[in-house]
Amino acid sequence: MRRAVVIVVAFLLVCGCASFPAETSPAAPVVRVWPPFDAKRARTDRGLVIKAQGGTLAQVTVRERGEPVPGALDRSRSVWRSDWALKPAAEYTVSATATVAGGPATVTLGRIRTRAARRTFQVAATAPLPGETVGTGMPIIIDFDTPVEDRAAVERALEVTAEHPAEGAWRWTSDTRVVYRPREFWAPRQQVTVTAHLAGVRAASGLVGAVDSTFVFTVGRSQTSTIDARTHQMVVRRDDRIVQRMAISAGMATTPEYTTTSGIHLTMDKGHPVRMVSPGRSEGDPGFYDMMIEHAVRISDSGEYVHAKDNLWAQGRQNVSHGCINSRPDQAEWFYTTTLRGDPVVITGTNRTLEWDNGWGFWQLPWEKWRQGSARPKKRAADTWVP
């Protein structure tokens, strides 16, 4: 049977036969480890904590299958914590050395085995896709394959690392979806790495993360399009330079669904062609339409696209669409070809406002309101757990 080993190392220097006044040396530090050594079914969700009492930690090494386990010391150098939860059904080897000035050192060696998971969850889908190049407004969307009850625990396990670091926050939009956006648009031309350190995380009673998941995407050039429904004009700026001006026609505004929404939209996907059918109307009803539209770039979940249309008589002069932004076919093709998912499209001049949860309208929320959707808006005691 494997047992934890604690070694106290003391050094004594004796010179000749001289006698010296007795001095009291400090006691050896005591090292405590949680979960305890030789545990066979240790919890995974609280990670691993090593604490030195009466001294400081000089060295900590934790490995799982030979790979180092990331962790960090606190400011006093008396407590070491693993960065993330422990993997289910895994064995960890621990070596820790504690020292005290003028006294002996304590070396602690041991092993810990974690319990197996009865039910597991994992990442089901992400946006962006791994390796995708996106626009500067792109959110990070993570969908889980099972509803999450302990959102704070899962959110703590999500890590976003950008080449140009910036403040950002997660917001839960459902029990299975969490969305991240930076406070300002991403700096262009950089890579962003997203890691869900889910292995061992407790998402609900009896539900534990199965595996970690990592993907990398690239933020491309900066491109923002501004549309004024009153002047019927669209201007596309790339890296702060105007690269296209387009005469457009927006929604006719005879009904709410035929009114283009004003606000900060993001390009979401595109199709060539896209079938468009009038909402809430059947064939034969007034205003019914069912048509195939070319070079269509979607900007909301309420049926709004920037797309091609040959009604040149209206573009630049009059709003006659069913809520979309239409433009000259050759210019619509150019926009379709050059657009990345996550490019901002800012629309003004209508009396209907884009809701923040309509498509990717996340930039409609002011920063402080966006942060309120986080499961952990403030630091919680669980974040600094010490047994």
- Name which of 179-183, 280-284, 294-298, 341-345 the model is least confident about: 280-284
pLDDT, tens only, 77-111? 999 999 999 999 999 999 999 999 988 999 999 99
pLDDT, tens only, 228-287? 999 999 999 999 999 999 999 999 999 998 999 999 999 999 999 999 888 778 787 777
Question: Residue 2: its pLDDT value, please?
Answer: 46
Could you give the CA distance from residue 233 to residue 250 in angstroms, rounded to a whole number? Answer: 10
Is pLDDT of 14 > 70? no
Is pLDDT of 5 > 80? no
Pairing of strands 269-271, 296-298: antiparallel
For residues 172-177, average pLDDT: 98
Could you give the CA distance from residue 380 to residue 182 in angstroms, rounded to a whole number? Answer: 22
Question: Residue 12: its pLDDT value, please?
Answer: 31
What contacts 24+ positions apart, CB below 8 Å, involve 307-315?
307/274, 307/332, 308/332, 308/333, 308/336, 309/249, 311/249, 314/249, 315/232, 315/247, 315/248, 315/249
Is pLDDT of 112 > 70? yes
**How does 129-149 read in b/e, with b if 16+ C-beta sit within 10 Å?**
eeebbbbbbbbbbbebeeebe
Question: Residue 129: its pLDDT value, please?
Answer: 98
Structural contact between residues 181 and 362, judged by C-beta atoms closer than 8 angstroms: yes
- Name which of 8-22, 125-139, 329-343 the model is least confident about: 8-22
pLDDT, tens only, 284-324? 777 788 889 999 999 999 999 999 999 999 999 999 999 99
The dihedral over CA atoms of 270, 272, 273, 279, expressed in degrees to the nearest 10, equals: 10
For residue 266, count other CB atoms closer than 10 A to its CB.
24
Alpha carbon 187 to its chain's center: 16
Catalytic residues: 307, 324
What backbone torsions phi and psi does residue 151 show, to the nearest 5 degrees?
A: -65, -35
The full 3-state SS of the chain, as one line of letters, equals CCCCEEEEECCCCCCCCCCCCCCCCCCCCEEEEECCCCCCCECCCCCCEEEEECCEEEEEEEEECCEECCEEECCCCCEEEECCCCCCCCEEEEEEEEECCCCCEEEEEEEEEECCCCEEECEEEEECCCCCEECCCCCEEEEECCCCCCHHHHHHCEEEEECCCCCEEEEECCCCEEEEEECCCCCCCEEEEEEECCECCEEECCEEECCCEEEEEEECCCEEEEEECCCCEEEEEECCEEEEEEEEECECCCCHHHCCEEEEEECCEEECCEEEECCCCCCCCCCCCEEEECCEEECCCCCCEEEECCCCCCCCCCCCECCCEEECHHHHHHHHHHCCCCCEEEEECCCEECCCCCCCHHHHCCHHHHHCCCCCCCCCHHHHCCC
For residues 21-45, average pLDDT: 88
pLDDT, tens only, 193-237? 999 999 999 999 999 999 999 999 999 999 999 999 999 999 999
- Sign of the four-CA dihedral 105, 110, 114, 115: negative
Does the model's pTM come out above 0.75?
Answer: yes
Could you give the CA distance from residue 188 to residue 98 in angstroms, rounded to a whole number? Answer: 46
Question: Residue 7: its pLDDT value, please?
Answer: 56
Could you give the CA distance from residue 243 to residue 226 in angstroms, rounded to a whole number? Answer: 12
Q: Which domains does the chain have, with CATH numbers?
A: 5-12+22-113 (2.60.40.3780), 119-220 (2.60.40.3710), 223-368 (2.40.440.10)
Rounded mean pLDDT of the chain?
Answer: 92
